[in-house]
Amino acid sequence: MNPNASADAAPVLQWLGVQDYVPTWDAMRAFTEARTPATPDQLWGVEHPPVFTLGQAGRPEHVLAPHAVPVVQTDRGGQVTYHGPGQAVIYLLLDIRRHRWMVRETVQRIEEAVIRTLARWDIAGQRRSGAPGIYLASGEKISALGLKVRGGCTYHGVAINVAMDLMPFDWINPCGYPGLRTIDMASLGAQATTQQVAAAFAEEFGAIWQASAVAPTMTA
């Protein structure tokens, strides 16, 4: 089999519904460890029950008052974030080495897919220098991003706040930033389900992925 046979194919979204965080994380690691150069890339869309996750270098002091929400130390990048019902979480299981993407441009392209997804609901998202994720011009964060890269393959991914209880974000310093405000799409008038938002992201990311496959980035 040609090891590059699936490189041009857009990753397929699997909507998994409500899933506990730790078993999903375990499954991502198992998938990544077992994959071969010919394994098709995948996107997993989920909602999680309430959970705080700390990145690999996450500082526990950024969890101000967890209340009854569990705190999980993970192996992704970034500091602390919150996952809960009404948030679309999309995990990106990608072989970026096969696709000739560097980590920084992978993050930028994921962010671009989020910006395009939000635009479908007339929400203008933007990047913030030095702070991965997507924000509004008024400063609120609407999407968080954190990846793990192992052997040229990624797991973990991106979370988009769709229609959720935002209060738990007040119990942490989101992404390590004291006082950072968060917002969801519903607060901006958007009517969407988490599955719809995950599907839109998959379409936008797939278009970016295939466009890059036609004219791959060349690196020194």
The catalytic site residues sit at 175
Residue 123 CB: number of other CB atoms within 10 A?
17
Length of the chain: 220
Q: Give the list of residues 6+ apart from residue 196 with CB closer than 8 angstroms, or none.
A: none
Residue 76 CB: number of other CB atoms within 10 A?
21
Q: Greatest CA span in the chain, whole angstroms?
A: 52
Q: What angle do CA 113, 115, 120 make, to 5 degrees?
A: 95
Indicate if the alpha-carbon torsion angle 23, 29, 31, 34 is positive or negative. Answer: negative
